[in-house]
Amino acid sequence: MKTLIQKITVVVLMAVMGLVSGICIAQNKITITQDGFKYVGEAVDSIPNGNGICYYANGNKFYEGGWKDGVPEGKGTVYYENGHKKYEGFIKGGQFNGYGVYYYSNSGPKEVKEYEGEFKNGNLDGVGTSYYPSGSIEYKGSWKKNEFDGFGILFYENGGKECEGEFKNGNLDGVGTVYYPNGNKECEGGWKNNLCFGVGTTYYENGSKEYEGTFVIITNKNGEKDSVLDGFATWYYENGRVKFRGYFKEGWIDGMGIMYKEDGSIDKEGEWKEEKFIRSVKVNFNK
């Protein structure tokens, strides 16, 4: 899965403006300087309230928009020190809240969106879209605390779908589909923490089915979580013919089943134990 956009917060700018090094009032505007920053705009008792602009020490804008009691509030724009936009949208209590657009910092002569959508308390939260530095869509859907959460679609940088479905804490969790870069399905069905879980189907890259059955999650010999077949399933050759129909146990062919040759004729029919054929017996799955 793609890495998530880093946690986005806005610095509370000059939260207490009572202690300042310089104040100038002219034409219904106030100019306040403090620690290299400068504020020009509306104020009440020398505290920014209303519309105003805060500048970096180099003279570029830091923040422009609404203020309340010395803190950004309402609609506004935050800038990087190089002059490019960092964020534009709604702010409440000095944090991004509501609809907004966040931009990459090193986007060259023109700003490039990194995320566009809903924010909550400085986090990506709600419905939104993230973008690659190239400008193409990375993810479109629901978010919660900076992670994919709810229904969404993740894209390859070339625009093709990488996966779509239900997400939780940034992972596929629920019903979903993963795609190969060529656009064919790789796996569809149930998911848990980015692993196939429950009823599902996997596919070869050419689009034909590979496995069809029920998947469980186990811990493999390397101590890693893995998704494997468990229960009755069908295994296919890449040409679409059935390779095996029968029972699996934690990824092994285990139980009654029929193994077929690639031409469709029966190779072995009977009982297996951990992939080993142990006895020949007539199998009838139609009963």
Q: Rg of the chain's alpha carbons, rounded to an integer?
A: 29
215 pLDDT exceeds 70? yes
Q: pLDDT at position 23, please?
A: 43
Q: pLDDT at position 31, please?
A: 85
What is the tens place of the pLDDT at every residue in 76-109?
999 999 899 999 999 999 999 999 999 998 766 7
Beta bridge partners of 83: none
Q: pLDDT at position 34, please?
A: 78
Q: How far apart are CA 150 and CA 166, in angstroms?
A: 5
Residue 207's alpha-carbon distances to 106, 113, 194, 201, 241, in angstroms, are 39, 34, 21, 11, 13
CB-side neighbour CA atoms (13 Å) of 222 = 3
What is the tens place of the pLDDT at every residue in 117-166?
999 999 999 999 999 999 999 999 999 999 999 999 999 999 999 999 99
Buried b (16+ CB within 10 A) or exposed e, 5-23: beebebeebbeebeebeee
Domains of the chain with CATH codes: 1-135 (2.20.110.10)
Q: pLDDT at position 156, please?
A: 97
244 pLDDT exceeds 70? yes
pTM: 0.84
Q: pLDDT at position 121, please?
A: 95
